[in-house]
């Protein structure tokens, strides 16, 4: 499993690449309290339900608050055969906010 830091994700998102998805696997309440622009939300325990939909993206960046749930979700998706998953397992929304990066 490829694991990157939240800083690396921030740099990737500056380039505005096409056909990528930022998947926020925190709870709906956490997501609604602030998230990365254009990120979609599916709680980590439900990612298996959207695995087929995720196949359409070149890369899916999976993140959470600190990295633990992102790793679990990424493992689930890879076990289901997806090969386009990148886990943001070093930091997460907590570090994003601490760095003062924008949220919606």
Options 3.30.1600.10, 3.40.250.10, 2.60.40.1930, 3.40.47.10; which CATH number does 2-98 get?
3.40.250.10
Q: How many CB atoms lie within 10 A of CB 80?
A: 14
Kindly list the domain boundaries of the chain, sorted by start residue: 2-98
Query: Does position 82 have pLDDT exceeding 80, yes or no?
Result: yes
How much is the pTM? 0.96
Strand order in the sheet with 2-5: 2-5, 85-90, 59-63, 20-24, 40-41
Residues 17-36: pLDDT tens digits? 789 999 999 999 999 999 99
Sequence-ordered list of residues with C-beta below 8 angstroms from that of 93, at least 6 positions apart, any chain: 6, 24, 26, 30, 34, 35, 36, 63, 64, 65, 103
């Amino acid at each position: 499993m490829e694991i990157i830091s939240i800083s690396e994700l921030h740099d990737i998102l500056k380039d505005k690449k096409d056909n990528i998805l930022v998947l926020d696997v925190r709870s709906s309440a956490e997501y609604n309290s602030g998230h990365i622009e254009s990120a979609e939300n599916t709680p980590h325990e439900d990612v298996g339900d959207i695995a087929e939909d995720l196949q359409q993206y070149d890369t899916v960046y999976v993140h959470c608050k600190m990295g633990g749930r992102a790793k679990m979700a990424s493992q689930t998706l890879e076990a289901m055969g997806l090969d386009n998953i990148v886990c943001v397992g070093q930091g997460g929304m907590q570090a994003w906010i601490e760095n003062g990066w924008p949220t919606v």
